[in-house]
Amino acid sequence: MKIEVDGDRLSREIEDLAKISEAEPPVVTRIVFTPADLKARAWMKARCETAGLVIREDTIGNTFARWLGSDTSAPIVGTGSHIDAIPNAGRFDGVVGVLGGLEAIRALQRAGFHPKHSIELLIFTSEEPTRFGIGCLGSRLLSGTLSADDATKLTDKNGASVDEVRKQAGFTGELRDAKLPPNYYKAFVELHIEQGPILERERVPLGIVERIAAPASLMITIEGSGGHAGGVLMPDRKDALCAAAELILALEQAARRRGAVDTVATVGICDVFPGAINSIPARVRLGVDVRDTNLSRRDEVLRALEQACRATSNKRQIVVHSELLNADAPAESSPEVVAALRQACEKHTYNFLPMTSRAYHDSLFMSRIAPIAMLFIPCLNGYSHRPDEYASPEDIARGTVVLAETLASLAE
């Protein structure tokens, strides 16, 4: 069987989908359940229907497009990713895995392949945490990692709940019904841009992901005492931003002290109230991200941060409150799925690197219910989540060929 990918069509489709955005090109912004997101979903479904795929959507909006195999009772071989995009993003993150997954299926169809196991393209809802403050909402629900009760408590910045927003978008029914039954998938493979510089730096065209780092997210609120910048003397101050600065540096030090390259910690949000140049900050909210491929190491950083919060609170006589939003376990790729990816690379004489994904993806949560692995392709300078994010048509087509070969192997 000779698999040939239509790289020109795939590139055109990526460009066309990028035009469905809340921002002007080259910026891509598609927040979940907004008009741009819903329009992009309809655009994708139309292409899946043209390919003869059977489509269904669950109660959170995950979209399943299935190529029926000869044994419809057998567990399914899945692939896919997401098409939602954070503000000021690029056109390849997630999209390569969705449109590449569709093209992999079409290439197998053109090659005359007849799968025993059905092959399913899965477009996840809200991989990005932009609207509801938690990433991978769709895959968390379908894997049972997030309960329906906890999901209903999530709100956007306007106070609208997940339930309200999804129903307005046309996704009704009980959220608990999004959870997939046991043994639904035989395997799941996600194609993705690397979002890092290693493949480009090493001049290797493909990366096979063997593990995915575990994220933990926190919101820390620091309550000090405000006042006039000129009227409150230094000995009398309870400056919330100065306390926040200590915590930020303590977090950085805690991550560095672990001595492992996979241990990373970030403060990505720093909201200061009241935010006036001549006013002492009375309250600060910090958004914290800590992740590692090793769970105990990551949790050591979290404990060090807790200790720093207590010490800073006592030293500065302020109140520090920490809310853990999520703390997920890392994932190991399935040896069987990794082997299928390796064999596909070797069949086409493509070099590859065994890799760790330090960004987390829907595959992290799919690993709770199915054997998984990921396939990375290079992206220019490792850039992602920005308008100049770029993956070459040649790299995308190469990844799609390997994906198609892997799906065929798993679906036989």
Please state whether the predicted TM-score (pTM) of the whole model is above 0.75.
Answer: yes
Give the model confidence (pLDDT) of 223-267 as tens digits: 999 999 999 999 999 999 999 999 999 999 999 999 999 999 999
pLDDT value of residue 133: 87
Give the model confidence (pLDDT) of 362-378 as tens digits: 999 999 999 999 999 99
pLDDT value of residue 215: 87
Q: Are 118 and 77 within 8 A, CB to CB?
A: yes
pLDDT value of residue 214: 85
* For range 176-201, the mean pLDDT: 97
Is the pLDDT at 1 greater than 90, yes or no? Answer: no
The CATH number of the structural domain formed by 215-327 is: 3.30.70.360
Burial class (CB in 10 A: 0-12, 13-18, 19+), 320: buried
Q: What are the domain boundaries of the chain?
A: 7-213+330-411, 215-327
Mean confidence (pLDDT) of the chain? 97
Is the pLDDT at 57 greater than 90, yes or no? Answer: yes
* For range 121-137, the mean pLDDT: 95
Is the pLDDT at 13 greater than 90, yes or no? Answer: yes
Give the model confidence (pLDDT) of 143-160 as tens digits: 999 999 999 999 999 999
- Tell which CATH classification among 3.30.70.260, 3.40.630.10, 3.40.640.10, 3.40.50.720 matches the domain 7-213+330-411: 3.40.630.10
* For range 14-27, the mean pLDDT: 97
The three-state (H, E, C) secondary structure of the chain, written as one string: CCCCCCHHHHHHHHHHHHCCCCCCCCCEEECCCCHHHHHHHHHHHHHHHHCCCEEEECCCCCEEEEECCCCCCCCEEEEEEECCEEEEECCCCCHHHHHHHHHHHHHHHHCCCCCCCCEEEEEECCCCCCCCCCCCHHHHHHHCCCCHHHHHCCECCCCCEHHHHHHHCCCCCCHHHHCCCCCCEEEEEEEEECCCCHHHHHCCCEEEEEEECEEEEEEEEEECECEECCCCCHHHCECHHHHHHHHHHHHHHHHHHCCCCCCEEEEEEEEEECCCCCEECCEEEEEEEEEECCHHHHHHHHHHHHHHHHHHHHHHCCEEEEEEEEECCCEECCHHHHHHHHHHHHHCCCCEEEEEECCCCHHHHHCCCCCEEEEEECCHHHCCCCCCCCCCHHHHHHHHHHHHHHHHHHHC
Which of 400, 319, 401, 385 shows the shortest CA–CA distance to 87?
A: 385
